[in-house]
Amino acid sequence: MKKTTSILLALLFVAAVFGNCKEEEKDDNTVLALLLYANDQLSGNCATVTRNSSTSYSATITSVPKGGCKVASTKAEYEESIKSVKTKVLGYYTSQGASCNSSAAIATTQLDNLITTSNNKSDATFAADVEKQRAFTVGNLVTETALTLKNTDSRTDAQIAAMKPGNLEQYFLSTAIAYANAIGATSCVNLMKNIDLEGVTGLISSPPTIITSKTCTYGSSASATTKCATLNTEF
């Protein structure tokens, strides 16, 4: 995310510098194209779809934007993706001091276990798991999973209307909060409000007004109460 942000800032700087320079129209067009591309890659949410059968598919929609929406195709890619999450989560805990040490320990154990489990799979088993997954970009995780929110989470239409997808940083932050909540580290969660007061409040309020992950289903045998809004034939 930091790398993506740096690239975007660089593009904005280029746009500012060349904004008063009209020597060549193609220069302006190039800068505009780059800015539009960067904006496109930072938009949308990611649906990771698992094929349960030929008539049933499960989708996990997250705040990961279009540019990062993919399924790890190798063990090395999977390990790198988990390590990226680990780095962000531990960074939040470290910034808030000793009150988050126990949360950091459980997060480290859980995330390292994911890597170990993946690496211990045979190549054939790992490849078979990858074959059952696809990644697609959707516009908005709240609207995409509205039926799950309503029928599984018992949210009212008004509550769903008040929700919005979090950003990528809030996705990582919500992961850190989840580990802290899992061991009852309330003091750590409260300290993390210093990182993003609006985000944390929205993530932990009841009901939440910011969500960074939710599931939905599709396929002819999928439950009608949890069907995705737009995903229906993709795979």
Beta strands 133-138 and 56-62, pairing class: unpaired
Helix (H, G, I), strand (E, B) or coil at 62: strand
Beta strands 210-211 and 164-165, pairing class: parallel
Q: Are 96 and 194 in contact (CB under 8 A)?
A: yes
Supply the pLDDT for residue 67.
Answer: 85
Please give the Cα distance from 212 to 93 (Å, whole number): 19
Cβ-Cβ contacts under 8 Å for 67 (sequence gap 6 or more): 4, 41, 42
Average pLDDT, the chain: 86
pLDDT band, residue 233 (cuts 50/70/90) = confident
Q: Which residues pair with 164 in a beta bridge?
A: 210
Supply the pLDDT for residue 210.
Answer: 96
pLDDT band, residue 17 (cuts 50/70/90) = very low
Compare 29 and 148 and report the one with higher pLDDT. Answer: 148
Helix (H, G, I), strand (E, B) or coil at 142: helix
- Number of alpha carbons in the 13 Å side-chain half-sphere of residue 104: 15
State pTM to two decimals. Answer: 0.79
Mean pLDDT of all residues in 82-93: 96
Supply the pLDDT for residue 173.
Answer: 95
Q: Are 218 and 210 in contact (CB under 8 A)?
A: no
Give the amino acid at 69.
Answer: C
- Each residue's pLDDT tens digit, 180-211: 999 999 999 999 998 988 889 999 999 999 99
Supply the pLDDT for residue 180.
Answer: 96
pLDDT band, residue 62 (cuts 50/70/90) = very high
**Residue 43 confidence (pLDDT) above 80:** no
Residues in the chain, overall count:
235
Helix (H, G, I), strand (E, B) or coil at 230: coil
Mean pLDDT of all residues in 58-75: 94
pLDDT band, residue 8 (cuts 50/70/90) = very low
Q: Locate the domains of the chain by residue range.
A: 2-40, 45-226
Q: How far is CA 202 from CA 109, 162, 174, in A?
A: 27, 10, 10
Query: Which residue blocks in 99-220 are alpha helix, DSSP H?
Result: 101-120, 123-131, 141-144, 146-151, 157-161, 168-182, 186-191, 197-204
